[in-house]
Amino acid sequence: MSPRLWLHSLFWRKTLDDLMAGMNAGKRRMINRDEIELAKAYKRRPMPKDIRYPREGEIYESIEDVTVTYMTSHHAPFTGGGKAVLPKGEQVRVYKPDNDRPDGVYCNPLRYDELHEQIVPAEERANEYYSNYYFSIDTITLNKSFRLVGGGPAGT
Q: What are phi and psi of 149, to 5 degrees?
A: -120, -5
Identify which has the larger pLDDT, 49 or 140.
140
Q: What are phi and psi of 103, to 5 degrees?
A: -80, -15
Is the pLDDT assigned to residue 141 strictly greater than 90? Answer: yes
Q: Which of 118, 111, 114, 30 is nearest to 82 (CA)?
A: 118
Predicted confidence (pLDDT) per residue in 103-116, tens digit? 889 999 999 999 99
Instruction: Report in angstroms the alpha-carbon separations of 94 from 64, 126, 149.
Output: 18, 27, 12
- Region 130-141: mean pLDDT is 93
User: What integer pLDDT is reported at residue 67 of this predicted model?
Assistant: 94
Q: Which of 16, 124, 146 is nearest to 72 (CA)?
A: 124
Q: How far apart are CA 43 and CA 46, in angstroms?
A: 7
- Rounded to the nearest integer, the mean pLDDT of the chain is 86
- Region 58-73: mean pLDDT is 95
Q: How far apart are CA 105 and CA 117, in angstroms?
A: 22
Predicted confidence (pLDDT) per residue in 17-43, tens digit? 788 788 788 888 777 878 877 887 777
Give the count of beta carbons closer than 10 Å to the beta carbon of residue 137. 24
Angle formed at CA 30 by CA 28 and CA 36, multiple of 5 degrees: 110
User: What integer pLDDT is reported at residue 119 of this predicted model?
Assistant: 96
- Region 128-145: mean pLDDT is 93
User: What integer pLDDT is reported at residue 9 of this predicted model?
Assistant: 67
Identify which has the larger pLDDT, 101 or 68.
68
